[in-house]
Amino acid sequence: MPGRGVLSDDHPHLVGAAGSSGHRSAHRTLERCDTLLALGVSTRGGAFDIPGGAFLIQVDRDPLQLCRRTHRGVGLYGTVAETLDELLARLAPPTVVSPGRSRGGGREASRRRFLRARQASFGRWRRRTRRTGRVPRAGRPIPPSFLCRTLREVLAGLGDEGEAMGRPVVTVDVGLTTLWVYRYLPGQVDFVWTSSFAAMGFAMPAALAIAPLAPGRPVLALVGDGGIGITMAELAAAAHAPAPVVVVVFNNGKLAAIKYEQEVMGWPEHESELCNGDFASYARACGVNGVRVTNPEQLAPALRAALAGRTTCLLDVVCDPHETPWPARPSPRQAAGFLLARVREARASIRHWRRA
Ligand SMILES: Cc1ncc(C[n+]2csc(CCOP(=O)(O)OP(=O)(O)O)c2C)c(N)n1
Ligand SMILES: [Mg+2]
């Protein structure tokens, strides 16, 4: 996640974000990759599974990350800047190979074509999602991906009018919220998240702790309704905190990550609904500003106002729980499980409706 703040999605060489929460173009590139240089990336467990048989060169200044590596390759201990300097000094100068002239030239050209095709495919995804995300259908709840894209535009425009603001710091909670942020809110921000702990309830307390250390920078906590539910008491502390934060709640009325984990295994949704109170009213009762956003058109102005205000604010954004978080490359088993779950859910609704 922190790496998503380094490059903007508009970078011409980007093929997308890696991992099942990322993009298909990145997944396909990794499948064909033969040597992968990973700079400060946790490869533990399924957090970043590397498809294909690439030889991994993993650089990290944390020896623990290197010990956790399960993929074939080598670990290089050091900071990214120092290690890259050392590696570049050892590289032979590149030779220009005209395609077809020498052995391997055709292979080289085919690799370049493959890479360019993946970059183009990521570019198409970006354009398509920007278009479709512009205006959700009238009367429909706000898709979480639309919330992230709007947030991205609002953050990119900070300082356009009036006082310039520093680079935003964004803390991210655990749940499907993490996937939406990872996939749709890249670039020009510093992300902070729980890394391998994957503990819900991290984002808001983390933002409160970070805000005094980041004067002049907007600090935002992006958190699901489940995550805010277990840390709501912190809002009372937020009213007395030395520096303001903006808390954005992805309120989809569910523990949606759990719902989709059940569904990809073929099981119908079970007990993942949440009975939420009114988070915005609760925030106001604690002495901080609270705004409930139900309409896509309200979203950008509400975000701008929250970021411009110099006090802590909670935006309770009512989101669509039905936007499907397809993995970058769904396995046939996951796709079949998901369909089976949907059929079972439909049958259960019909039984329920007949009994009523
Ligand atoms: C402290 C803690 N409890 C439980 C979990 C398991 N868990 C992971 S995601 C999730 C649901 C998160 O729900 P929400 O915050 O509403 O986000 P959503 O998935 O709906 O976006 C749960 C229960 C966890 N990671 N940490
Ligand atoms: Mg939720």
Give mean pLDDT, residues 261-280.
Answer: 94
Given a contact cutoff of 8 angstroms between Cβ atoms, the answer to whether 22 and 16 are in contact is yes
pTM of the model: 0.90
Average pLDDT over residues 305-331: 92
Are 39 and 80 found together in one domain?
A: yes
Closest ligand to Cα 175: 1
174 and 278 within one domain = yes
- 305 and 185 housed in the same domain: yes
Q: Answer yes or no: do 80 and 107 share one domain.
A: yes
- Report, as an integer, the average pLDDT of 141-159: 90
Residue 354 resides in a domain: no
What is the DSSP secondary-structure string of 129-167? HHHHHSSPPTTPPBPHHHHHHHHHHHHHTTTSSSS----
200 alpha carbon – ligand 1 mean position (Å): 5
Q: Identify whether 16 is part of a domain.
A: no
Average pLDDT on 49-69 reads 88
Confidence of residue 73 (pLDDT cuts 50, 70, 90): very high
Q: What is the pLDDT of residue 36?
A: 92
32 is a domain residue: yes
- Looking at the structure, tell me whether residues 54 and 186 fall in a common domain: no
Question: Do 28 and 167 lie in a common domain?
Answer: no
Q: Take atom 3 of ligand 1 and give the residue whose Cα is closest.
A: 200
CA of 206 to the centre of ligand 2 (A): 19
Write out pLDDT tens, residues 97-140.
555 555 556 888 888 899 899 999 999 988 888 776 666 776 78
* Residues 62 and 177 placed together within one structural domain of the fold: no
Tell me, in angstroms, the distance from the centre of ligand 1 to residue 107's CA. 46
Distance of CA 251 from the midpoint of ligand 1 (Å): 13
DSSP structure string for 80-139: HHHHHHHHHHHSPPPPP--TTTSTTHHHHHHHHHHHHHHHHHHHHHHHHHHHHHSSPPTT
Does 9 reside within a domain? Answer: no
Ligand 1, atom 9, residue with closest C-alpha: 175
pLDDT at position 160: 66
Residue 6 has pLDDT above 90, yes or no: no
Q: Which of 122-136, 141-155, 250-264, 298-312 has the lowest mean pLDDT?
A: 122-136
Same domain, 287 and 178: yes
Q: Which of 45-49, 192-196, 350-354 has the lowest mean pLDDT?
A: 45-49
Whichever domain contains 282, its CATH number is 3.40.50.970
Tally of domains in the chain: 2
| Number of other residues whose CB lies within 10 A of the CB of residue 195 | 14
% of the chain residues with pLDDT over 90: 64
For the Cβ of 199 lying below 6 angstroms from any atom of ligand 1, the answer is: yes
| Mean pLDDT (whole number) for 313-337 | 92
- Tell which atom from ligand 1 comes closest to the C-alpha of 144: 21
pLDDT for the residue numbered 7? 83
Q: Is the pLDDT of residue 94 over 80?
A: no
CB of 174 sitting under 6 A from ligand 1? yes
Answer yes or no: is 348 within a domain.
Answer: no
* Closest ligand to Cα 174: 1
Each residue's pLDDT tens digit, 162-211: 556 889 999 999 999 999 999 998 878 999 988 767 899 999 999 999 99
Of 197, 200, 317, the one to substitute when testing ligand 1's pocket (max ligand atoms within 8 A of C-beta) is 200
Q: What is the mean pLDDT of residues 287-314?
A: 94
pLDDT of residue 69: 80
- Which ligand has the shortest distance to the CA of 317? 2
Q: Cα(95) to centroid of ligand 1, in Å?
A: 51
**Is the model more confident about 353 or about 2?**
353
Q: Is 210 in the pocket of ligand 1 (CB under 6 A)?
A: no
Inside any domain, residue 298: yes
The confidence band for 320, taking pLDDT boundaries of 50, 70 and 90, is very high
In this predicted structure, what is the pLDDT of residue 47? 54
CA 102 to chain centre: 43
Q: Would residue 19 count as lying in a domain?
A: no
Residues 276, 146: one domain?
yes
Centroid of ligand 2 to alpha carbon of 255 (angstroms) = 4
Ramachandran bin of 216, using left for φ above 0, alpha for ψ from -120 to 50, beta for the remaining angles: left
- Ligand 2 centroid to 253 CA: how many Å? 6
Nearest alpha carbon, ligand 1 atom 16: 226
Mean pLDDT of 1-8: 82
How many alpha carbons fall within 13 Å on the CB side of residue 52?
Answer: 17
Ligand 2 is an ion; its neighbours by CB within 5 Å are 224-226, 252, 254, 256
Q: Which ligand 1 atom is the nearest neighbour of the CA of 199?
A: 26
Length of the chain equals 356
CA-CA distance, 336 to 334, in Å (whole number)?
5
Do 194 and 51 reside in the same domain of the chain? Answer: no
**Ligand 1 and 249: CB distance under 6 A:** no
- Both 78 and 48 in a single domain? yes
According to the model, what pLDDT value does residue 310 have? 85
Q: Whose CA is nearest to atom 25 of ligand 1?
A: 199
| Structural domain containing residue 269 | 139-340
Q: Tell me which of 232, 255, 317, 319 to substitute to probe ligand 1's pocket, judged by most ligand atoms within 8 Å of the beta carbon.
A: 255
Task: For 231-260, write each residue's pLDDT tens digit.
Answer: 999 999 999 999 999 999 999 999 999 999
| 355 domain-assigned | no
Higher-scoring residue by pLDDT: 308, 9: 308
Alpha-carbon gap, residue 340 to 356, rounded angstroms: 24
Are residues 183 and 225 located together in one domain of the fold? yes
